[in-house]
Structure 1
């Protein structure tokens, strides 16, 4: 147990020899594998945030109260949290390719039929199903990436997580425009078809590990339960929960806050949030690459980014003009997503490759609890006060909790 408290150097690492590291590093297919799981994560996240881009106008047409606009997002993440726990364990058992396929195919179907939503209740049920279907895509990606990347794992994680921020850009650039021209239902039908199609691509072309490398031994229940006693994973989970409280809460309410508080059109608000996503796209691989450099402390990087995230949220809340929002949004985007690849690399380091799926599943389940609760919390605050400043202060609580949790993570976690 003592080893779990301070380092990822455990018995699971013994199965992954130095020779496999060399094969992995030399294989050009690893970039194909990374692209497949990246694109899957991208589509899954576009499906996830698409509602937020049209929540204000479509919610009004469906008769949904302002305070309940985040209910669909919360429903998605409720299903997502449950699926992460189950999907993480199943990923280690079935493999990344199988779980990726099992996540994307039903997600595509449910996203397609969300376009038929006519009431709050129906929408919540479909979003709950969407979240449950999508829950395994993250664990599957986190299982595949460590199998193909070792020395440059931080960079790979940085590239992988650009999917979420690029999804914000694409969703805000595409969904409001399609909704304005063809109706919001058509936008969700298109997303559903694209997601289903990529599930087929994953099934046909994704490989779990390099050819010739033997499959790792099955994880025992005792090994999986040992993750719950790993101090580093516990505090990384708390840090990620706090970070995503603000990241997802802002993603769910950023558009609506600007349109309702200052009368900014949905298209312009979407453009501002798209610039927010561009900042994140640039920051993620950059910070992931920096975290791979010798002598760099991923723990310290995480703390500094979370501090900057909280401060920038407050600055955004003090803006009142389109120009100001455009200036601050990309900076906020860089910090609101920049901590993720660094945290993810530390989670992978702390568990080792064999337990990568299970550790990613249960830590992400805790992370997403913040995602599930924050949209409703911000909705309650804004619905009762109509103050954008109080709304962003509510969001800023998350990064503060996260940076405090990071103080209890080991200063150096050995990579396995």
Structure 2
């Protein structure tokens, strides 16, 4: 890694190079997380599994993806980012490859739900928060926005390609392609990802020489660190406002739209490739929207940004069932408005978490907030599948998701109303 620092030299701070490496890791993880939505219809046709059955495996995946967040953040503090991430990437790639042999629903729950869900939970928002707080003092919002946008880029890169493979060759080649993508990023992490700026004889980007050095690395049990942070943070109102607003965020994004939009398009006569292309188009807008959101969160009130993000997302979801009935402009209008704001909520939420709980404890507390996000996503993934199976339509699920977003737009206005930092006990 020292050779990389010397090569970069005075061109730019190595922290931006770390952002690039982590972006590629998150890109592979995002493609992995999006894969089940491409597999849903082929699995339904080949094995006769219902959407509720497939949605159960996806909901377990989403729930574990979120629940791993605080423990992953604690493990990164205790054992280091690189060892933790390498173990997760190996598990993720191996699990995806193994799933090519599955023939029963319980195998999908075990492999895609437990193995892949837990592994992708390490290569997730908690990783982004940990890297950004370690490597950046200024421009944190922009760096977080870039890393968060990796989810959108993952959809843009993977979904249309994977959908075309699934439509022509079936779902097994899809999982082998995704497993290979996971394997490619492992050497990048092993060779190019240092733990902290001090390892490269650097200070965090934007930090002056008169600033205090980084605190010593925690030596406790990661489980104790994670639960200690939860115990302290859960005594505060701000934690629950962050938790439940992010629960709604997860329910209305990768839980509902990310999981069911391709299948929903099939209900209206659109192919898997057309549905995946719609998601990819939304990913393009989200790439810009989330990066812009990071830039805005460095300059404007994060509560007000979240108010607008949740409110506009709610209106977009309420509009979605009507979009299929408008011949040309319906779905493109939805793709633009929903796409721009899909995961734009992340940078302001990280900023508020850091403001309330402090730089060192924020990644672990945010990990618990992300757990709320993914529990909401799991709730929506399974709940929308049940509603579709019982009602034959996704309209009610869309209305519920939109209404929850409107509620969240008012919840976030109460976060961090006073200028304070909450002490968090992690040991």
TM-score by length of 1: 0.87
Which residue of structure 1 lines up, in the alignment, with residue 184 of structure 2?
197
CA distance in 2, matches of 1:414, 1:42: 35
Deviation readout 1:230-256 (Å, 9 max, x if unpaired): 432331121111111110111101110
Q: CA deviation at 1:410?
A: 1.6
Deviation readout 1:206-240 (Å, 9 max, x if unpaired): 01221346552344768624233343233112111
Selected match of 2:27 from 28, 37, 42? 42
Deviation readout 1:154-199 (Å, 9 max, x if unpaired): 1111111101111222232111112234432112112112212312
CA 1:66–1:338 in structure 2 vs 1: closer, same or farther (change >3 Å)?
Answer: same
8 Å contact from structure 1 (residues 299, 411) kept in 2 = no
Q: CA deviation at 1:413?
A: 6.0
8 Å contact from structure 2 (residues 285, 339) kept in 1 = yes
CA 1:412–1:284 in structure 2 vs 1: closer, same or farther (change >3 Å)?
Answer: farther
- 2:254 is the alignment partner of 1:250: no
- SS for the counterpart of 2:216 is coil
Instruction: Spell out the pairing of 1:134-145 with structure 2 (5 A cutoff).
Output: 134-138=120-124, 139-145=126-132
Q: CA deviation at 1:372?
A: 1.2
CA distance in 1, matches of 2:420, 2:140: 13
| Structure with the higher fraction of residues in helix conformation | 1
- 2:316 is the alignment partner of 1:312: yes
- 2:139 is the alignment partner of 1:132: no
Q: CA deviation at 1:130?
A: 0.6
8 Å contact from structure 2 (residues 38, 166) kept in 1 = no
Which residue of structure 1 lines up, in the alignment, with residue 369 of structure 2?
363
CA distance in 1, matches of 2:389, 2:194: 48
CA distance in 2, matches of 1:106, 1:121: 19
Q: CA deviation at 1:272?
A: 1.4
Selected match of 2:277 from 263, 271, 276? 271
CA distance in 2, matches of 1:94, 1:306: 36
8 Å contact from structure 1 (residues 77, 368) kept in 2 = yes
Deviation readout 1:85-115 (Å, 9 max, x if unpaired): 3222212212222222222111111111122
Which residue of structure 1 lines up, in the alignment, with residue 41 of structure 2?
56
RMSD: 2.3
In the alignment, structure 2 segments of 5+ residues that lack a partner are: 1-9, 204-212, 423-427
In the alignment, structure 1 segments of 5+ residues that lack a partner are: 1-24
CA distance in 2, matches of 1:180, 1:376: 24
Q: CA deviation at 1:33?
A: 0.5
CA distance in 1, matches of 2:66, 2:52: 22
Instruction: Spell out the pairing of 1:212-231 with structure 2 (5 A cutoff).
Output: 212=201, 215-219=214-218, 224=229, 225-231=231-237
8 Å contact from structure 2 (residues 146, 291) kept in 1 = yes
CA 1:93–1:80 in structure 2 vs 1: closer, same or farther (change >3 Å)?
Answer: same
8 Å contact from structure 1 (residues 91, 136) kept in 2 = no
8 Å contact from structure 2 (residues 149, 287) kept in 1 = yes
